[in-house]
Amino acid sequence: MVILTLNCGSSSAKYQVFDWDNKDVIASGVVERVTQEGGSITHIAKGKSEYTQKHECPNHTIAVELIIRTLTDPEVGVIKDMNVIKAVGHRVLHGGNKFTKSVIVTPAVLDTFREVQDLGPLHNPANIMGIEAAQKVLPKVPHCAIMDTAWHQTMPDSSFIYAVPYEWYEQYAVRRYGFHGTSFLYTAKRSSVILGKKPSDTNVIIAHIGNGASMCCVKNGQCYDTSMGITPLEGLVMGTRSGDCDPALAFYMMRKANMSVQDIDTALNKKSGLLGITGKYADRRDVTKAMEVGDKRAELAFKIETYRLRKYIGSYIAALGTTPDALVFTAGVGEFHAGVREGVCSGLEHLGIKLDKAKNALARTRNAETCISTDDSPIKIFVIPTDEELVMTEDAYALMKGTYDVHTKFTYSFQSPDYVNKGRAEGLKRDIEKNPALADILVKIPGRAN
């Protein structure tokens, strides 16, 4: 049995093909520059060389069609025809306050996504287009929507209600929603496994740091608070997004610089963050290189980003009302950028967060969970590579079988101490061959069979 997952973003379409019987990823890839010039697909199939092809994709329908052709191609594909696919999982950025868990897509569900698409104008239209395109190719299999916002629906109203006229919430659904939900679900559940605790007894703070970045305060295994808001703009400093700033800033700049609403929206979402501070760089790797040659604005951008992260950690420790079990780093920057992790943890020793710099420098892998705190650190520091596609796959399978439920009543395969990701296990062997010391910082899973 094969399950396909699709993640259609504003200008990309990622996919993964999962062999459910063998519990293994057999292909993955991404179509880039969708709706832009210079489109291409990069396809990685198990046992085959990486395949790249240039292909213009003016919309996500054409991108999905390109993915299907690639998957069934006699030379580079991994399946003979689409009939072997029994379910499709789709990432949907925004479900408003309508969904608390993943759902099978129906016409009514699609209508709801359309109703709230102004809450996610860059992503929801693309998500909808991807679903509709896949439904045309696979009309007889269940298409499942996995909402980024669903994980955060457990927040208390004191966390998600803004201090604005309450009628805005009642009439226009104005509230904090939060995003990166599948990533937080995966890393929260894995944290429980690593700590040897039940999810309901687990308290962690998770930093999902990529080009987009957000944090989640997990209390008793559920989301208690998160940094992103009604849209993904609020919260941390990101690649091109400002994160937190005075709302009156928009009005000030509209008056001073004669900027329109669209100008402000573009500036805060696409021209701010690291790019706005440095004037050049949105990628942390570029910021780091610039810092190494003495670029003062790159140094400032680094300081602002890591300071914002530290502020959220402190506030979430206060919000938890107890000492957290662990601080978790995940996503591209969180998993690979030792400098950002060190900058974030610097000065938090008095709160019980003690980073081991040597361990931190070793932690550069997407194939294993590592511990980078000192042995005497009251709060553990973990680097947990996220796996949003696996969450999507398992949700889609369970929805197809009728066994799915909200995450507090549902058990994922990766919640078992004996869970092993086959592809990552093979990758870890290669990582350790290149860097044997990496083996010393791998987490020890309580209860794992030898």
Name the residues annotated as catalytic: 148
The strand order across the sheet containing 370-371 reads 222-226, 213-219, 204-209, 326-330, 380-383, 370-371
What stretch of H or E contains 25? strand 24-32
DSSP state of 409: G
∠ CA 381-354-323, nearest 5°, is: 70
In 3-state terms, what secondary structure has residue 107? helix
In 3-state terms, what secondary structure has residue 415? helix
Placement of tokens 């420790």 in the chain? 317
Q: Which residues share a beta bridge with 16? A: 5, 28
What stretch of H or E contains 18? strand 12-19
| Measured distance CA(430)–CA(256) in Å, rounded | 56
| Measured distance CA(181)–CA(223) in Å, rounded | 9
Closest CA to 277 of 291, 298, 294: 298
Q: Which residues contact 301 (CB under 8 A, 6 or more apart)?
A: 237, 274, 277, 278, 281, 287
| Measured distance CA(411)–CA(413) in Å, rounded | 7
Q: Are strands 326-330 and 204-209 parallel, antiparallel or unpaired?
A: parallel
Q: Which residues share a beta bridge with 6? A: 15, 90
| Measured distance CA(407)–CA(153) in Å, rounded | 11
